[in-house]
Amino acid sequence: MDYETERTSPRSGDRSLVLHPFLRKGEKNQIRDPEGCLAEAVSLTAAINLDVIHSEVVSLAAPKPGTLFGEGKLEEYADFIKHNDIDVVIIDRSVSPVQQRNLERRLHAKVIDRTGLILEIFGDRAQTKEGVLQVELAHLSYQRTRLVRSWTHLERQRGGAGFLGGPGESQLEIDRRLIDERIVKIKKQLETVVRTRELHRSKRKKVPYPIVALVGYTNAGKSTLFNRLTQSDVFAKDLLFATLDPTLRKIDLPGGQTVILSDTVGFISDLPTELVAAFRATLEEVLEADLVVHVRDITHPDTEAQKKDVFDVLKRLGVNTDDKKHYLEVLNKVDLLDEEAMTLLQNEVDRKDDKILMSAVSGIGVDVFNAAIERKLTHNQKLLSVRVPSDDGASLSWIYRHGTVVERMEEEEATVLNVKFSPENLGRLEKMNVEIL
C-alpha cells in the first residue's frame, strides 16, 4: 500500500499504536504528567473504536524536524508495526505535514496526530446539521495543509462534467481548489444556520430568562449534571466528547426563578485552532451567558492543568474568567473521594463563594448548587414588595418566572410578594397591573 496517497479515515477496529512524545528538557506550559497524557490519548483513540494494541511514552531529547523521532526509534517502531499488523499510529502531539508524510513512509502505516485524532472524534460525534458542517469545515482547513492527491472524490460534489483545470494544472492544485470550493460552500451554509441561531438567541433575550452555561474539560460530568437538573436524557457516558452539540433547557429554580441551562461541548488540552474557530458560533452561547458554571472532575490527577486548559479556551472566546460575579466553579465527582480528602476540600470551599462541591451522579450538593446560582444571578437585583390582585394569575406567574421570590403573604383580595428583580425586568414590572409598595 502506498501510504503517501492512501489517506482514508481509520476504520472501526483498526489496530493502533499510541505514542506520547515527552521532551526531557520540557516544553513551555508542560505541567501534565506524561503517563496521564498517554492515558488520555488512549481514551481519545478508543473513542473512535480503534483497537489499542500498545501505548507508551516516548522520551525525546529534542524532536527531529523531519521525522520527530530518531533513527533508532523509527526502526524499532517499524519492526513492531510490521510484526503486529498495526494499521494506525497515533502521535499525541501536533505533527507537521512533512513529519506526517515522512513517518508514514518509514513506518508503513497511517499516522494521525493529536489534532487529526480530535477532528476524527468530532466528526464521529456531531449530530446536528450545524455540528456536522462545523466539523467538516475544521477538517478541510486542517487537511488543506496536508494535501497528497487525496481529494479528487470531491469533484462529484461540484455537479456537471467539464474540465476541472487547465492542462498545466497539477493534481495538488486541483485538490487545493476543490477543498477551497467546498470550504466556501460550507461557510455559506453555516451563515444560514448561524442566522437562525441568532434569531433564536434574540427571541430568548426578549423573554428574557437568564442563561447559565455549563463548561468544562471533556468527561468532567457536564451532561450528567445537565440531566440531573433538567430531568433530560442528553447522552452522558464515561467517554471523552460524549456530546458535541449544545443543548438548552428551561429549568425552574427553588426560589421560583426560571433560567435557561446550556450544555456545551467539552474542552481539551491543545484543542485544535481549526475547531475553536469552527465552533465559535456554538460556543457563543457561553459569551451570551449571564453565569458561566465551570464543571471540574476534582478526582482527576491533572485537574489543575485541565482548569488551565478550560480558562485558555474561554479567554480565546473573550470570556472574562476574573469576573467572579458571573462565574461559579463546581468541583464534581466528590462521591469518589475518601473522607479525609473530602474534609480537606470542604475546608477549602468554605473559604470561597465561587466554589461548591457536588456529585452529579449521586445528587450531593444539588441544593447548594441551586442556591449558588440564585445568589449569583441576583447579585445586582433590587428587592421590593408588590401587591398582586388575587384574580391576576398572569401577573403572578410572570413575577415568579422573572424574579426571585423571597417571601409570600396572602391578603383577602391580593397576594403580597417580597421579590428581587433585575433592572430590565423591574422596568417591565412597572408597566404591569401591580402595586409596588
pLDDT along the chain (437 residues), means of 10: 50 90 70 86 89 94 92 95 95 92 93 89 75 84 71 42 44 81 89 75 64 87 86 54 64 79 79 67 71 92 89 80 83 91 88 86 90 81 84 84 82 86 76 79
HSE-CB of 227 using CA atoms within 13 angstroms: 14
Q: Who's near 103: CB < 8 A, 6+ residues apart?
A: 67, 68, 69, 74, 89, 91, 95, 111
pLDDT confidence of residue 71: 93
Show the cell assigned to 254: 427553588
Q: Who's near 161: CB < 8 A, 6+ residues apart?
A: none
Residue environment code for 383-418, b if the CB has 16+ CB neighbours within 10 A, otherwise e: eeebebeeeeeebbebbbbbbbbeeeeeeeebbbbe
* Angle separating helix axes 303-317 and 280-288, nearest 10 degrees: 90
- Tell which residue, 20, 9, 7, has the closest CA to residue 146: 7
pLDDT confidence of residue 246: 62
Tell me which amino acid residue 339 is.
E
Taking the C-alpha atoms of residue 291 and residue 214, their distance in angstroms, rounded to an integer, is 9
Taking the C-alpha atoms of residue 68 and residue 102, their distance in angstroms, rounded to an integer, is 9
pLDDT confidence of residue 176: 83
pLDDT confidence of residue 267: 80
- pTM, two decimal places: 0.73
Taking the C-alpha atoms of residue 138 and residue 116, their distance in angstroms, rounded to an integer, is 10
pLDDT confidence of residue 333: 93
Q: Using only C-alpha atoms, what is the Rg of the chain?
A: 26
pLDDT confidence of residue 391: 84
Q: What is the secondary structure of 122-154 as a DSSP string?
A: HHHH--SHHHHHHHHHHHHHHHGGG-SS--GGG
